[in-house]
A and B are shown apart, each in its own frame.
Chain A
Amino acid sequence: MNGGLPLLRRELNACLLSPTAYLVAALFLLVAGAGFWVAVASLAAQPDGSVGLVELSAWMFLLTIAAAAPLLTMRLFAEEYRSGTFETLMTAPVRPAAVVFAKYAAALLWYLAMLAPTLLWGPILSAVAALPPPTDPAAIAGAYVGAILIGAWCLALGLFASAVMRSQVAAGLLAVALIAGWLFAGWVPFLWPLRHGDRLGTWLSPVVHLADWSRGIFDSRAAVVYLVNTTLALFATDRVLEWRRWR
């Protein structure tokens, strides 16, 4: 895409220079990484037990990403609006889609870089706590694919919020609200008994998805839902930029 590569390079550089990004990464590694691997390790030890533990870890991970995604994305557009660089950016011969792609890709790459060190948790855990290293490759792969899909979706929501709001704080709050709304949507069918409430809940609930994936049960329909939602959020972000020319 026209200008996509220089934009991506600039966004990555900006990310590498941002103290917030490192702080978020450190906190993320502390909280989510630990919880995540406790779940994987305990599952590997007792594949059929510890159902509650997996759900709990899934919740912990989701809350961590719910806090991390807005922090990583709120700056992306709001800062360009505030400083006025948005005008220089949008009058370069690049499509808004290229700008959206670059900012999103940079955030996603940072997120993947944040996630990568958790791969070491297994050996460390087994060395320190004498837990057996997780052995079920399907469960491990499932957990990571789930974390990536859900992270990608939360980052897309955060980017969208940043494009909508003129201030970083407002963008962060909107992102938290959107992510929280999505987390709790998964509860509605359980709280509100419908005929097929359970099945609907299973469809909507990220906790169920993440827990299933961490058990090595890979539901590709849920994966497709995340991919589609992410694409839609990015498309909506592109529309917001286009709308700003008309406003």
Chain B
Amino acid sequence: MVSDPSIILEADHLTRRFGRVTAVDDVSFQIRRGEIVGMLGPNGAGKTTTLRMIAGFLCPTAGDARIAGRSVTDDPLGARRRLGYLPEHAALYPDMRAGEYLRFRAALKGVPRARIAARVDEAAELCGVRPVLRRLIGELSKGYRQRVALADALVHEPELLVLDEPTLGLDPNQIRQARDLIRSLAERHTVLISSHILPEIEMTCHRVLILHRGRLLAEGPVPELAAQIHRRRRIMMQVRAPRDELLREVTRLAGGGNVVVEPLPEDWMEVRIEARAGDDPRPELAALAARRGWPLRELRREELSLEQVFLALTGADPRGVAR
């Protein structure tokens, strides 16, 4: 088969069964060079299993995946040489020093001896682990260990980076740093990244694949997904104001979205707005309350859960879709 050189990863009816459990069920998709693609799905959706088949850790029960045209089943070494893989809960050897580990991994992945030092240096610089290269991995914080693992995934200049839930188990500060790091990688690499958290994908990816119960439920550009989701997104405000006046002003700001005002005890009013695609009237709402001197005690956008995202995307009951 002659493959399109711009396609770096092609999953071709990937299927994986564990006994009677079908963890991944006939999943096909393509990733082009330069894309940052998110794989979104709740826990148990089959993300890790899919990525493990791509990385060659598990063999597919049926189907195949090709990395730069090389089949993971027919040419596993050729495929893996082009891949940088960060497993979920990536583990490192605690008895090695970070720099020693990265040099070992570079050699293992076939980086020519003369280039090893330069490659390790570059990957360490990119991932911000230069200061800890001489430290024992077992003594590093979880955040640093994750970055060393990421530097390992990068050290042989892979054509494709596959990251399985790279922010799992990090604290919020480390998550923010990891996210910035991944975004900076995106400038030079093709990346497939999995997550069960929607904002994670929304903030880093161009395109998203939605996996649910082993099936590819939907795929599309992130702005499209975001628009679909934001269309259903609600804004909630609690304010003390005269009801009719409040309704009139808010309806004007909502720009055609559906507005409901409900009285609460002690003259408080609850306003719910179904904001339109891409619309966020929260700053205007806050300004309105300030201008009119209305006490404001709450103003927030309701985030959709993943299950609600599936509803938004498919217009169907997600439990029904999987069956």
- Chain A residues with a Cβ under 8 A of chain B: 2-3, 5-7, 9-10, 13-14, 17, 83-85, 87-88, 90-95, 245-246
Cα distance, A13 to B96, chains bound together (Å): 9
Cα distance, A93 to B67, chains bound together (Å): 13
- Are A91 and B80 interface neighbours, CB within 8 A? yes
What are 26 A-B contacts defined by CB distance under 8 Å? A5-B107, A6-B108, A10-B96, A13-B96, A14-B95, A83-B91, A83-B93, A83-B94, A84-B90, A85-B91, A85-B93, A87-B91, A88-B92, A88-B152, A90-B56, A90-B57, A91-B56, A91-B85, A93-B77, A93-B80, A93-B81, A93-B109, A93-B110, A94-B77, A245-B56, A245-B59
Chain B CB within 10 Å — which of A5, A6, A17 has the most? A6
Q: Which 8 A-B pairs have the closest CB atoms?
A: A84-B91, A6-B107, A93-B80, A93-B81, A91-B55, A85-B91, A87-B87, A245-B59
> In the complex, which residues of chain B have a beta carbon less than 8 angstroms from the beta carbon of A246?
58-59
> In the complex, which residues of chain A have a beta carbon less than 8 angstroms from the beta carbon of B92?
85, 88
Chain B 66-99: CB-based contact to A (< 8 A → 1; otherwise 0):
0000000000011011010101011111111000
B95 to chain A, nearest CB (A): 5
Cα distance, A94 to B149, chains bound together (Å): 18
In the complex, which of the residues B56, B59, B77, B105 contacts A2, with contact meaning CB atoms closer than 8 Å?
Answer: B77
Cα distance, A9 to B152, chains bound together (Å): 18
Further contacts, 6 of them, CB under 8 A, given A91-B55, A91-B80, A93-B81: A83-B94, A87-B91, A88-B92, A92-B108, A93-B77, A93-B80
B104 within 8 A of A: yes
In the complex, which of the residues A3, A7, A14, A84 contacts B89, with contact meaning CB atoms closer than 8 Å?
Answer: A84
> In the complex, which residues of chain A have a beta carbon less than 8 angstroms from the beta carbon of B108?
3, 6-7, 92-94
Chain B CB within 10 Å — which of A13, A88, A90 has the most? A88
In the complex, which of the residues B59, B80, B90, B93 contacts A14, with contact meaning CB atoms closer than 8 Å?
Answer: B93
In the complex, which of the residues A3, A7, A17, A90 contacts B95, with contact meaning CB atoms closer than 8 Å?
Answer: A17
Q: When A and B form their complex, what is the total count of cross-chain residue pairs whose Cβ atoms lie within 8 Å?
A: 70
How many residues on the B side are at the interface (Cβ–Cβ under 8 A)?
Answer: 29
Given contacts A3-B108, A6-B107, contact A84 B57 (CB under 8 A): no
> In the complex, which residues of chain A have a beta carbon less than 8 angstroms from the beta carbon of B110?
2-3, 93
> In the complex, which residues of chain B have a beta carbon less than 8 angstroms from the beta carbon of A92?
80, 105, 108-109
Chain B CB within 10 Å — which of A3, A9, A85, A92 has the most? A92
Q: Is the interface of A mostly helix, strand, loop or mixed?
A: helix
Nearest B residue to A90 by beta-carbon distance? Answer: B57
Nearest A residue to B80 by beta-carbon distance? Answer: A93
Cα distance, A3 to B109, chains bound together (Å): 7
A127 to chain B, nearest CB (A): 40
Chain B 97-119: CB-based contact to A (< 8 A → 1; otherwise 0):
00000001101111000000000
Cα distance, A88 to B89, chains bound together (Å): 11
B163 to chain A, nearest CB (A): 13
B281 to chain A, nearest CB (A): 47
> In the complex, which residues of chain B have a beta carbon less than 8 angstroms from the beta carbon of A85?
91-93
> In the complex, which residues of chain B have a beta carbon less than 8 angstroms from the beta carbon of A83?
91, 93-94
- Are A245 and B77 interface neighbours, CB within 8 A? no
- Are B87 and A88 interface neighbours, CB within 8 A? yes
Cα distance, A94 to B80, chains bound together (Å): 9
Given contacts A14-B93, A17-B95, A92-B80, contact A87 B107 (CB under 8 A): no
- Are A10 and B104 interface neighbours, CB within 8 A? yes
B140 to chain A, nearest CB (A): 15
Cα distance, A97 to B114, chains bound together (Å): 26
- Are B105 and A91 interface neighbours, CB within 8 A? no
Cα distance, A91 to B87, chains bound together (Å): 9
Cα distance, A6 to B93, chains bound together (Å): 14
B1 to chain A, nearest CB (A): 22
> In the complex, which residues of chain A have a beta carbon less than 8 angstroms from the beta carbon of B59?
245-246
Cα distance, A10 to B101, chains bound together (Å): 9
> In the complex, which residues of chain A have a beta carbon less than 8 angstroms from the beta carbon of B78?
93
- Are A9 and B104 interface neighbours, CB within 8 A? yes
- Are A88 and B104 interface neighbours, CB within 8 A? no
Cα distance, A9 to B149, chains bound together (Å): 20
Cα distance, A245 to B56, chains bound together (Å): 8
Chain A CB within 10 Å — which of B58, B81, B83, B152 has the most? B58
A21 to chain B, nearest CB (A): 12
A247 to chain B, nearest CB (A): 8
Nearest A residue to B106 by beta-carbon distance? Answer: A6
- Are B81 and A245 interface neighbours, CB within 8 A? no
